[in-house]
């Protein structure tokens, strides 16, 4: 096993511990927790079997070199993560908009009540 593989496995182990702690504190939901576990598991497999895995991916995708295959798969995973982030950001923006509307309506109702009380 190469030094780079050991370093990668140590980094993955550290990230696994971090995501477990974040899940226990309630900062990450169940779906996010499972997603990160899957991603870190894939990274661990790639770190342990980089040559064999890159050859298999190369053969499946019909690419010339194994390293090209790893780059193609990595770019695909990055796009998937970006899409997931986009969906989450869009959902959060919609929630913020809805909450802002509710707060504005409630604030207006409170101001009307204050005016009625001042008139008395």
Residue 89 confidence (pLDDT): 96
Q: Which position has the token pair 């809805």? A: 98
pTM for the model: 0.62
Backbone angles phi, psi at 109, to 5 degrees: -65, -40
Q: What is the largest CA-CA distance in the chain?
A: 85
pLDDT, tens digit, 9 for 90 and up, residues 91-101? 999 999 999 99
Low-confidence winner among 17-26, 31-40, 49-58 (lowest mean pLDDT)? 49-58
Residue 54 confidence (pLDDT): 81
Q: What share of the chain is helix, strand, coil (3-state, %, to 5)?
A: 90, 0, 10
Q: What is the mean pLDDT of residues 12-35?
A: 94
Domain ranges of the chain: 3-88
50: confidence class by pLDDT, cuts 50, 70, 90? confident
Instruction: Provide the token pair at 17.
Output: 């511990």
């Amino acid at each position: 096993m190469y030094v780079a593989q050991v370093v990668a496995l140590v980094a993955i182990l550290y990230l696994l511990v971090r995501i477990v702690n974040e899940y226990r504190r309630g900062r990450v939901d169940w779906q996010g927790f499972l997603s990160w576990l899957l991603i870190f598991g894939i990274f661990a497999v790639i770190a342990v079997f980089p040559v064999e895995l890159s050859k298999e991916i190369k053969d499946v995708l019909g690419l010339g070199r194994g390293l090209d295959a790893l780059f193609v798969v990595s770019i695909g995973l990055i796009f998937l993560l970006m899409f997931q982030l986009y969906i989450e950001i869009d959902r959060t923006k919609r929630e913020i908009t809805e909450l802002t509307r509710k707060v504005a309506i409630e604030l207006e109702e409170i101001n009307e009540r204050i005016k009625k009380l001042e008139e008395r």
